[in-house]
Amino acid sequence: MRQKSELEQKVVDLIYRLPPMPATVEDIMNISSGERKDEELISIIKNDPGLCANLLHLANSFCTCPEGEIETIEDAVRNVGTGPLVQLIGVLYARDTIEKEFFAISHINEYFQHSRNISKVCRILTKSYGFDDHQQQMYSVAGLIHDIGRLVIMIASNNTSSHLVGTPAEEMASIVNSEIEALGMDHCEVGMRLCKRWNFSNILQTAVLRHHSPLIDNDFNFPGAVIFVAHFITESDLTGEIICNMLPEKLLNNLKLGQDDFKKIRDIYNAES
């Protein structure tokens, strides 16, 4: 019990040891949509050359336009949208913080690759639902940061040499229970606390919190469910039939997904990978 309490305290301390958003990024994260807000956002970014350059690179990576088409912050706002762009700015800062704070983890590149894979499927899934580009980008961001809590736990427990290849599909239902038993909280809650500290939107916070538990009794969380099923879609040996057999029927009904849908999404994912 004492070890559990000490580890939990280490995790909490680590969350709050990580730096909050810088003032410039904090100002940007507090901007909502609207024409005047767009002008304010552009003005703030243009006064930070480093942020401007990095953001243009990130916007080009996320946008479906031809590579290199986004050349100005105005282009980024027009093509990506204010809301998703603000979240991308937060993720840009979070990514840099991860690289600096979690450098001791031997397999950090595996973490980023897993996150990119989940991010890609989240975008494909939401596109299949007919979501607009802005919403697709938001879910893509959610997939990118969904496992950040795992890094905090690994640092706090001094377990920095373990592989970070993502959660195997067959362990999706049990991994959070083992973390709660050992720590008092799971990586989903840890990640949500970080998202809250970094002023990410509620949809990103709940997506990270519920990506292992999208269905609790009758409480269905769509953002968490998108990330949850993305794990199964990235598994190369799982067909649409197998995925449907592995997932709860109630979850599939809420998502309105069947074997053919999973096959189509898998085909698109494989073609893009």
Q: Which of residues 184 and 58 earns the better pLDDT score? A: 184
Q: Which of residues 161 and 10 earns the better pLDDT score? A: 10
Neighbour tally for 193: CB within 10 Å: 20
Comparing 32-41, 108-117, 219-228, 252-261, the range with the smallest average pLDDT is 32-41
Which pLDDT belongs to residue 99?
A: 67
Mean pLDDT of the chain: 78
Question: If you average pLDDT over each of 33-42, 130-139, 164-173, 253-262, which comes out highest?
Answer: 253-262
- In percent, how much of the chain has pLDDT > 70? 73
Q: In CATH, what number is assigned to the domain containing residue 254?
A: 1.10.3210.10
- Tens digit of each residue's pLDDT (9 = 90 or more) over 19-60: 555 666 767 777 655 555 777 777 877 777 766 776 777 677
Average pLDDT of the segment spanning 159-172: 57
| 168 pLDDT more than 90 | no
Report the domain count for the chain.
1
Q: Parallel, antiparallel, or unpaired: how do β-strands 219-220 and 215-216 relate?
A: antiparallel
Q: Which domain holds residue 140?
A: 2-272
Under 8 Å between Cβ of 11 and 156: yes
Q: How far apart, in Å, do the first and last CA atoms of the chain sit?
A: 45
- Tens digit of each residue's pLDDT (9 = 90 or more) over 193-249: 888 877 777 888 999 999 998 999 889 999 999 999 999 998 877 888 888 988 889
Contacts with 111 (C-beta within 8 Å, 6 or more apart), sequence order: 105, 147, 150, 151, 164
In this structure, what are the phi and psi dihedrals at residue 216, rounded to the nearest 5 degrees?
Answer: -120, 105
Which pLDDT belongs to residue 11?
A: 73
